[in-house]
Structure 1
Amino acid sequence: MKAIILSAGRGSRLLPLTESMPKCMLPVKNTTLLGCQLDTLERAGIRQATVVTGFLPGLVEAELAGRSGPLKASAFFNPFFQVADNLATCWMVREQMNEDFLLINGDTLFEVALLQDVLSSPARPIQVTIDRKASYDSDDMKVTLEGTHLKAIGKSLGQSVSHAESIGLLRFMGSGPGLFRAKLEQMMRTQDGVSAWFLKAIDAIARTTGEVETFSIQGRAWAEVDTVEDFKALESLSF
């Protein structure tokens, strides 16, 4: 199992904190947001990671070069990060999706126990990690479920069909990487491909093939860093 981390963006909603550094390089505890992610992956037994860079890539490359330990992390530069969304980013790094892998948003932190739960869950082609709460807002990546089966995913889903939210951690196994690569190829040939989120591809796979499952980590600790308020909240992070 390898990991692919999508860390190309600047994080404009975090300005002025990201004026001169990418979001993934923001300081967290004694390391960075990216450092926390890589440390968690390493403690869970992951030994290979690809970090997709974009804004000020040299800072991320220096961070990776300074790491030691069993996890080997390399950078993949996306020169189109300012004009393309993350579906195109995934398409660019699709050759790395040649075996079982985790796909992780660059702004999602989670405790080791959460990742261990995901890694030890039953093998499925595509699995979206989800959490539940009382209500969801327009910024949440909401999911519609039928049991554990994913029926739809997107920020625009209505409250009545929003049963949980994606935390930004997906697992692909067996036929899953091939299914995802094929859908990326298909969608990148459309007019809207460059501006789409990769979860639009997951939504399309779920609706047409039924090959997308979910795994709930309700009760485990995780955090998403989108805003300055989110970043300040990391001061009380307990994992």
Structure 2
Amino acid sequence: MRAIILSAGRGSRLLPLTELMPKCLVPVGGRAILDHQLRALAEAGVERAVVVAGYRFDQVGAHLALHAPPLPVELRFNPFWAVSSSIGSVWAARDLLDEAFCLMNGDTTLDGELLGRAFAAAGRGVGLVVEPLAEPHSDDMLATVEGRKVTAVAKSLDPASATHRSLGVVVAGASSDYPIVLERVIAGTDGINAYHHDVVNALASQGEVEAIVEDSGSWQEIDRPEDIERWSARANRRE
């Protein structure tokens, strides 16, 4: 299992924190978001990570050089980060998708136990880690789960029909159709502006996405400054 972390975006909703640094380096609990992710991946047994960066790419490289990560990390540049959505970063790592992989949003903090459970539950195809939906938020990537299958995933889903929300973690086996569908989606109309979840949604429409349900709550998407405060409050409760 190798991990691909999508960290190319600026994170405009985290301004002014991202005025001078990329979103993945924003400190949360005294540690960059990227450092939280790399530590969790190492704890889950991942042997190699690829970080796809774009905005202030040089800072990400300098950070990795200064803060020795707990597993080997390859840094890749997405030159289209400013004109494409997250699918562009997946495209920059498309040569890695013919083996088992874990794809992660670059703005989500989670722990190694959560990832370990996701990897243990993954099959040979594609799985999406989801959480039962309690109260939808405007930033949520919503999903509909029927039985053990994800049938749809999109921000535009009607919250009344959505049952879960995505944690932004995709796991896939070496025999998955993810690379084929990625090419089809990005080549479609306005494909460069697609989310990487649009690939999962296309696979879900074919009945090819397993729902990996996680209800521990041990994760936090860092989308806005108040999300950092929520992370800190939860960390204090755990202590």
Q: 1:203 aligns with which of 184, 201, 204?
A: 201
Q: Answer with 229-238 or 112-121: which moved more.
A: 229-238
Cα offset, 1:134, TM superposition: 2.1
Equivalent residue pairs, number: 236
Give the 3-state SS of the residue equivalent to 1:150 in structure 2: strand
Cα offset, 1:173, TM superposition: 0.7
Separation in 1 of the partners of 2:30 and 2:136?
32
1:234 maps onto 2:231 in alignment = yes
Counterparts of 1:106-145 in structure 2 under 5 Å? 106-145=106-145
1:183 maps onto 2:174 in alignment = no
Unaligned ranges ≥5, structure 2 = none
Instruction: Name the counterpart of 2:51.
Output: 51
Separation in 1 of the partners of 2:132 and 2:204?
20
Cα offset, 1:237, TM superposition: 4.2
Instruction: Name the counterpart of 1:192.
Output: 190
The residue type paired with residue 234 of structure 1 is W
Q: 1:137 to 1:69 in 2, by over 3 A?
A: closer
Q: 1:205 to 1:236 in 2, by over 3 A?
A: same
The residue type paired with residue 226 of structure 1 is D
Separation in 2 of the partners of 1:40 and 1:67?
15
TM-score normalized by the length of structure 1: 0.93
CA offsets 1:113-140 (integer angstroms, 9 cap, x no match): 1111111115240000011132313321
CA contact (8 A) 1:97 1:181 kept: yes
Q: 1:56 to 1:225 in 2, by over 3 A?
A: same
Instruction: Name the counterpart of 1:223.
Output: 220
Calculate percent identity across the aligned residue pairs: 37
The residue type paired with residue 169 of structure 2 is L
Q: Answer with 47-56 or 216-225: which moved more.
A: 216-225
RMSD (CA atoms): 1.5
TM-score normalized by the length of structure 2: 0.93
Cα offset, 1:68, TM superposition: 3.6
CA contact (8 A) 2:98 2:175 kept: no
Separation in 1 of the partners of 2:217 and 2:208?
25
Separation in 2 of the partners of 1:75 and 1:212?
28
CA offsets 1:29-75 (integer angstroms, 9 cap, x no match): 34211011001111221110000000111111112223446510111
Unaligned ranges ≥5, structure 1 = none
Separation in 2 of the partners of 1:6 and 1:73?
13
